[in-house]
Amino acid sequence: MNFIINALIELLSVQLIKVRGRSMEPAIRENSWVISFRAGFRRRGPRRFDVVRLEDPRTSGHWILKRIVGLPDEEVALRNGELFVNGESVADPFAYCPDPERDNFEWWPRNDEYIVLGDNRSASTDSRKFGPVKRSALRGRINS
């Protein structure tokens, strides 16, 4: 019975969103439509490489899509465009157009924070600009 109730809640939380901007290309193209599950993290927590919908930390009321690359309590770094977690290189199959000259960042998200990046790094404003985002800012899981 619990499974049915949870499935119904997730189904009712579906929202269709038109993508504006190129920050998630090529995985999610500008002007395409994606499904956002507003209750997307009720049954499981956010995972690395989930695409999420969140409110832009810099602009109230402006929603953005980004990919989670860093989880709470990890050391996350971009070094010459390559992703590292806790000192180990992590294959990032979604990164597009990394800029090795400029992509050198380090973050230490706390127990309720995540690092989010756009796939199209050259066209994305993300944790490189605004830092870690709180779990409460993640408002939906995207199914593209």
Q: pLDDT at position 60, please?
A: 85
Number of domains present in the structure of the chain: 1
Residues 6+ apart with CB under 8 A from 63: 17, 53, 54, 55, 56, 139
Residue 129 falls in the annotated catalytic set? no
Instruction: Single out the residue of 141, 142, 127 nearest to residue 57, CA to CA.
Output: 127
What pLDDT band is residue 40 in, cutting at 50, 70 and 90? low
- Could you give the CA distance from residue 133 to residue 115 in angstroms, rounded to a whole number? 6
The token duo for 140 is 């939906």
Mean of pLDDT values over 119-127: 94
Task: Identify the CATH number of the domain in which residue 105 sits.
Answer: 2.10.109.10
Residues 6+ apart with CB under 8 A from 1: none
- Could you give the CA distance from residue 65 to residue 40 in angstroms, rounded to a whole number? 14
In the set 23, 36, 124, 127, the catalytic residue is 23
In the set 36, 66, 124, 127, the catalytic residue is 66
Residue 23 falls in the annotated catalytic set? yes
The token duo for 115 is 């690092």
Mean of pLDDT values over 36-52: 85
Q: Is 130 exposed, middle or buried (0-12, 13-18, 19+ CB in 10 A)?
A: middle
Q: pLDDT at position 48, please?
A: 96
Does the pLDDT of residue 91 top 80, yes or no? yes
- Could you give the CA distance from residue 119 to residue 72 in angstroms, rounded to a whole number? 20
**Distances, alpha carbon 119 to alpha carbons 38, 106, 122, in Å:** 21, 18, 9
Mean of pLDDT values over 32-53: 87
> 39: domain range?
2-143
Does the pLDDT of residue 12 top 70, yes or no? no
